[in-house]
Structure 1
Amino acid sequence: MEIDFIIALAFILFWASVVHGSIGFGFGMISTALVALFTDIQTTILFMLIPTMLANIMSILSEGNFLEALKKFWVIILLMIIGSTLGTILLVYVNSEYFKLLLAFIILLYLLQSLIKINASFVTTHPKSSTYGLGIFGGIISGLTNVVAPLMIMYTLELKYSKKDTIQLSNLCFLFTKIGQISVFVYFGTFTGEAFSISMMTLVVVFFGMYLGSKVKRFIDAKFYVKILKVVLFFTALTLIIQTLNS
């Protein structure tokens, strides 16, 4: 693996960790989108697995009462694992560059959702069906792109979950789906020793970034911070689209 890529990976993971530590979300979306600019989507997700798990664990522990959250959300977490496993198997067999377009679409949906309230009243009228749908379909999307934030946000907003519940649900889902994804990649022999070694080395960067983010969050203007994040994500999504269509 080229040293330039490893340096870029470390820088991206550090910045994504600071953001996640300060506002409670964003690691997967930021890091996946930016790393995908330098390599294919399967390789991107491979390098994101272990760092994402660390970011999720640190967020879960910082919120507290994770066993209570696990007991409350175990059904959707289980469904998300099943969906993510299916999505990862598809990714291994196809590994199409067009999955980058799907990633860009998910990012743009997140940005659109933050500008206008997308009506998702079916979630409250059919909560059980919505849970199954988010679990399986959202899991497949997560397996293919490492991102499922827009669907998760719509689901939690409509059911009026607290910020703490939303953060815990998101991080628990991502944590357990990453375990499922690692199992799939190991089974198919795509999770190489090189990918594992580089991922383990980046944990120091992620830990420090998460710690720094947790310390500075009380001193930053969260709304302004999120606006900057959205601008970066918008141009990243556009770059992914242009890059994929021109490849």
Structure 2
Amino acid sequence: MNESSFFLSLLTFTFLSAGVVKGVSGMGLPTVAMGLLGTVMPPAEATAMLVIPSFVTNVWQLLAGAATTRLMRRLWPMMLGIVIGTVGGTTLLVRVNPLWSGLGLGSALMVYAGYALLSPALSVPPHVERWISPIIGLFTGAICGATGVFTIPAVPFLQALRLERDELVQALGLSFTVSTVALAIGLATHGAFRLEQLGLSATAIVPALAGMWLGQTVRVHINPKLFRQCFLLFLALLGLELASRPFR
């Protein structure tokens, strides 16, 4: 198998697997994709690969419900913070030595996996939400820009708002969509999002959507709690592997 065929096989496997996780759990595609691709390429290149499939699958998730407009009105300060933080944070992703950006990616994966495994019952009251929302957005954007991971602290914050299940799924779709667009803008600003990467990223749409369909199909036949725990443990081990590379 030549290098080109190997890379396409790796891309297909990565986004098929990430799509399955998203289909089962409603999230995790960019996180899984970044973790797997980050083991074989610099995080900046891996981030460019996930832009289009992440955008397509998250827009699909955002629009699959009736609360889109209401959530946009409620969460716009957080979304603005995500855009500002992400565009600024991509400076680190592009300019820092890939080993150290890999350390940041691995650390973000471990923090998210640890939080999700513990699942603390947090709650954010309305009067706190108003002022903390843009701060959460800025921190999420900075981490997203520097590592390509969209989840911390956006996911815990949105879960703490105690939204209805369908609203939470849409809110996550909104947050991830805005993060993806801001990431693409940041990469393009620094010359790290090239035309050939756009084509490769587009090829990942099919396995990502196929994986989502497969995940949604098998979701009713498996124990979702056990699947989630296994997925998070895998994510933690992947993060540990990436984070340990600079010290070998």
TM-score norm. by structure 1 comes to 0.89
Distance verdict in 2 for CA 1:90–1:102, change over 3 Å: closer
Q: Which runs of 4+ in 1 moved over 6 A?
A: none
Q: Which residue of 1 aligns with 2:161?
A: 159
> Within 5 A, what are the aligned runs for 1:73-84?
73-84=75-86
Q: Does the CA-based 8 Å contact 1:59-1:171 persist in structure 2?
A: yes
Q: Are the counterparts in 1 of residues 65 and 167 from structure 2 also a CA contact under 8 Å?
A: no
Q: Give percent identity, aligned residues only.
A: 23
Cα 1:129/1:72, change in 2 over 3 Å: closer
Q: Deviations over 1:111-154 (max 9, x none)?
A: 22234355867x54733332121111111101111224241233
Deviation at 1:220, TM superposition (A): 2.2
Letter in 2 for 1:18: V
Deviation at 1:49, TM superposition (A): 0.8
Give the Cα–Cα distance (whole angstroms) in 2 for the partners of residues 236 and 52 of structure 1.
20
Matched with 2:182 is 180
The alignment status of 1:41 with 2:43, answered yes or no, reads: yes
Q: Separation in 2 of the partners of 1:166 and 1:22? A: 15
Gaps of at least 5 residues in structure 2 are none
How many residues end up aligned between the 2 structures?
245
Letter aligned with residue 45 of structure 1: T
- Could you say which residue in structure 2 is the equivalent of 1:15? 17
Task: Extract unaligned runs of 5+ from structure 1.
Answer: none
State the SS of the aligned residue for 1:10.
helix
Q: Cα RMSD between the aligned structures? A: 2.2
1:211 paired residue among 200, 210, 213: 213
- Deviation, 1:86, is 0.8
**How far, CA to CA, are the matches of 2:65 and 2:219 in structure 1?**
14
Q: State the alpha-carbon separation in 2 of the partners of residues 157 and 80 from structure 1.
A: 17
The 1-side partners of 2:82 and 2:113 are apart by 23
Secondary structure of the residue aligned to 1:37 is: coil
Q: Which residue of 2 aligns with 1:2?
A: 4
Displacement after TM superposition at 1:27 (Å)? 0.8
* Between 214-223 and 78-87, the greater mean CA deviation after superposition: 214-223
Alpha-carbon contact 1:85-1:177 (below 8 Å) kept: no
- Matched with 2:136 is 134
Q: Is this contact kept in 1: 2:17–2:211, CA < 8 A?
A: yes
SS in 1 for 2:221: coil
